[in-house]
Homo-oligomer: A and B are copies of this chain.
Protein backbone atom coordinates (compact mmCIF):
# COMPACT_ATOMS: atom_id res chain seq x y z
CA UNK A 1 0.00 0.00 0.00
CA UNK A 2 1.11 3.49 -0.80
CA UNK A 3 0.77 5.34 2.47
CA UNK A 4 3.55 7.85 1.95
CA UNK A 5 1.29 10.77 1.37
CA UNK A 6 -1.99 9.86 2.91
CA UNK A 7 -3.37 13.37 3.22
CA UNK A 8 -2.71 14.61 -0.25
CA UNK A 9 -6.38 14.37 -1.16
CA UNK A 10 -7.17 16.64 1.78
CA UNK A 11 -4.45 19.24 1.60
CA UNK A 12 -5.45 21.16 4.71
CA UNK A 13 -4.23 20.13 8.13
CA UNK A 14 -5.86 16.91 9.19
CA UNK A 15 -5.94 17.60 12.92
CA UNK A 16 -7.88 20.79 12.47
CA UNK A 17 -10.13 18.94 10.10
CA UNK A 18 -10.93 16.42 12.84
CA UNK A 19 -11.46 19.14 15.40
CA UNK A 20 -13.90 20.94 13.16
CA UNK A 21 -15.75 17.70 12.44
CA UNK A 22 -16.12 17.01 16.15
CA UNK A 23 -17.34 20.52 16.75
CA UNK A 24 -19.91 20.21 14.01
CA UNK A 25 -20.99 16.91 15.53
CA UNK A 26 -21.60 18.60 18.88
CA UNK A 27 -23.79 21.16 17.17
CA UNK A 28 -25.74 18.57 15.20
CA UNK A 29 -26.42 16.55 18.35
CA UNK A 30 -27.45 19.61 20.30
CA UNK A 31 -29.87 20.57 17.56
CA UNK A 32 -31.23 17.01 17.36
CA UNK A 33 -31.50 16.89 21.14
CA UNK A 34 -29.46 13.71 21.45
CA UNK A 35 -26.44 12.99 23.58
CA UNK A 36 -22.98 12.83 22.07
CA UNK A 37 -21.45 10.91 24.96
CA UNK A 38 -17.75 10.49 25.63
CA UNK A 39 -17.75 7.06 23.99
CA UNK A 40 -19.61 8.23 20.92
CA UNK A 41 -17.37 11.24 20.54
CA UNK A 42 -14.31 9.04 20.90
CA UNK A 43 -15.53 6.60 18.26
CA UNK A 44 -16.29 9.50 15.95
CA UNK A 45 -12.81 10.86 16.52
CA UNK A 46 -11.22 7.50 15.71
CA UNK A 47 -13.23 7.21 12.52
CA UNK A 48 -12.16 10.69 11.51
CA UNK A 49 -8.56 10.15 12.53
CA UNK A 50 -8.23 7.28 10.09
CA UNK A 51 -7.36 8.14 6.53
CA UNK A 52 -9.30 5.17 5.33
CA UNK A 53 -12.59 3.57 6.31
CA UNK A 54 -12.30 1.93 9.72
CA UNK A 55 -13.84 -1.40 10.69
CA UNK A 56 -15.72 -1.93 13.95
CA UNK A 57 -13.09 -4.32 15.21
CA UNK A 58 -10.33 -1.86 14.38
CA UNK A 59 -12.10 0.63 16.60
CA UNK A 60 -12.38 -1.98 19.35
CA UNK A 61 -8.66 -2.59 19.10
CA UNK A 62 -7.80 1.10 19.44
CA UNK A 63 -10.14 1.50 22.40
CA UNK A 64 -8.41 -1.42 24.07
CA UNK A 65 -4.89 -0.27 23.27
CA UNK A 66 -5.09 3.49 23.68
CA UNK A 67 -7.87 3.86 26.21
CA UNK A 68 -7.48 0.59 28.11
CA UNK A 69 -11.19 0.25 27.59
CA UNK A 70 -12.02 -3.40 27.21
CA UNK A 71 -15.14 -2.87 25.19
CA UNK A 72 -17.08 -5.68 23.56
CA UNK A 73 -18.44 -5.49 20.01
CA UNK A 74 -21.95 -4.27 20.93
CA UNK A 75 -20.49 -1.20 22.58
CA UNK A 76 -18.83 -0.13 19.37
CA UNK A 77 -21.66 -1.13 17.07
CA UNK A 78 -24.11 0.86 19.17
CA UNK A 79 -21.94 3.93 19.01
CA UNK A 80 -21.61 3.47 15.25
CA UNK A 81 -25.37 3.04 14.88
CA UNK A 82 -25.90 6.26 16.76
CA UNK A 83 -23.41 8.13 14.61
CA UNK A 84 -25.00 6.70 11.45
CA UNK A 85 -28.46 7.77 12.62
CA UNK A 86 -27.25 11.28 13.26
CA UNK A 87 -25.60 11.37 9.85
CA UNK A 88 -22.16 11.89 11.36
CA UNK A 89 -20.59 8.93 9.61
CA UNK A 90 -21.26 6.76 6.58
CA UNK A 91 -20.98 3.01 6.23
CA UNK A 92 -19.09 1.65 3.24
CA UNK A 93 -20.92 -1.59 2.48
CA UNK A 94 -18.24 -3.02 0.23
CA UNK A 95 -15.61 -2.65 2.97
CA UNK A 96 -17.72 -3.30 6.07
CA UNK A 97 -16.21 -0.10 7.37
CA UNK A 98 -17.06 3.41 8.43
CA UNK A 99 -15.94 6.87 7.43
CA UNK A 100 -16.61 10.37 8.75
CA UNK A 101 -19.26 12.32 6.94
CA UNK A 102 -17.84 15.37 5.25
CA UNK A 103 -20.92 17.52 5.74
CA UNK A 104 -23.06 16.26 8.64
CA UNK A 105 -25.04 19.47 8.89
CA UNK A 106 -26.64 18.82 5.55
CA UNK A 107 -28.14 15.30 5.37
CA UNK A 108 -27.26 13.54 2.14
CA UNK A 109 -26.36 10.31 0.43
CA UNK A 110 -22.70 9.47 0.32
CA UNK A 111 -20.98 8.74 -2.96
CA UNK A 112 -17.50 7.34 -2.53
CA UNK A 113 -14.30 6.94 -4.48
CA UNK A 114 -12.32 4.14 -2.85
CA UNK A 115 -8.66 3.65 -3.74
CA UNK A 116 -7.79 -0.03 -3.88
CA UNK A 117 -4.08 0.75 -3.53
CA UNK A 118 -3.88 2.98 -0.46
CA UNK A 119 -7.42 2.65 0.85
CA UNK A 120 -8.11 6.36 0.93
CA UNK A 121 -11.77 7.03 0.43
CA UNK A 122 -13.13 10.27 -0.85
CA UNK A 123 -16.69 11.39 -0.45
CA UNK A 124 -17.93 13.18 -3.49
CA UNK A 125 -20.93 15.40 -3.89
CA UNK A 126 -22.35 15.31 -7.35
CA UNK A 127 -25.77 16.57 -8.28
CA UNK A 128 -25.40 14.93 -11.66
CA UNK A 129 -24.90 11.49 -10.18
CA UNK A 130 -27.76 12.08 -7.80
CA UNK A 131 -30.10 13.31 -10.52
CA UNK A 132 -29.25 10.54 -12.96
CA UNK A 133 -30.00 7.92 -10.33
CA UNK A 134 -33.26 9.59 -9.41
CA UNK A 135 -34.30 9.72 -13.04
CA UNK A 136 -33.43 6.08 -13.62
CA UNK A 137 -35.43 5.06 -10.55
CA UNK A 138 -38.36 7.14 -11.71
CA UNK A 139 -38.40 5.30 -15.04
CA UNK A 140 -38.91 2.08 -13.15
CA UNK A 141 -41.49 3.70 -10.85
CA UNK A 142 -39.16 2.93 -7.95
CA UNK A 143 -39.31 5.03 -4.79
CA UNK A 144 -35.82 5.63 -3.43
CA UNK A 145 -35.12 5.58 0.27
CA UNK A 146 -31.36 5.21 0.23
CA UNK A 147 -28.61 5.31 -2.37
CA UNK A 148 -25.22 3.66 -2.22
CA UNK A 149 -22.52 4.53 -4.69
CA UNK A 150 -19.10 3.04 -4.13
CA UNK A 151 -16.58 3.42 -6.88
CA UNK A 152 -13.39 1.42 -6.56
CA UNK A 153 -10.23 2.31 -8.43
CA UNK A 154 -6.94 4.15 -8.18
CA UNK A 155 -6.60 7.58 -6.61
CA UNK A 156 -4.38 10.31 -8.09
CA UNK A 157 -1.62 9.68 -5.53
CA UNK A 158 -1.33 6.03 -6.39
CA UNK A 159 -1.26 6.45 -10.14
CA UNK A 160 2.31 6.05 -11.42
Q: Which residues of A contact B (CB under 8 A)?
A: 93-94, 111, 113, 115-116, 122, 124, 126, 128-129, 131-133, 135-137, 140-156, 159
Given A93-B93, A142-B113, A142-B155, do A149 and B122 touch, yes or no (CB 8 Å)? no
- Residues of chain B lying within 8 A (CB to CB) of residue A132: 126, 128-129, 131-132
Number of copies of this protein chain within its complex = 2
Given A124-B140, A129-B129, A135-B128, do A145 and B152 touch, yes or no (CB 8 Å)? yes
Question: Which B residue's beta carbon lies closest to that of A124?
Answer: B136
A153 to B153, CA, bound (A): 27
Q: How far is the CB of A128 from chain B (nearest CB, A)?
A: 4
Evaluate contact between A133 and B151: CB separation under 8 angstroms: yes
Evaluate contact between A153 and B148: CB separation under 8 angstroms: no
Question: Which B residue's beta carbon lies closest to that of A129?
Answer: B132
If A145-B153, A146-B151 are given as contacts, then 6 extra A-B residue pairs at C-beta distance below 8 Å, sorted by A number, are A113-B142, A122-B140, A141-B159, A143-B154, A146-B152, A147-B151
Question: Which B residue's beta carbon lies closest to that of A111?
Answer: B136
- Residues of chain B lying within 8 A (CB to CB) of residue A113: 137, 140, 142
Evaluate contact between B136 and A156: CB separation under 8 angstroms: no
A88 to B154, CA, bound (A): 25
A144 to B113, CA, bound (A): 8
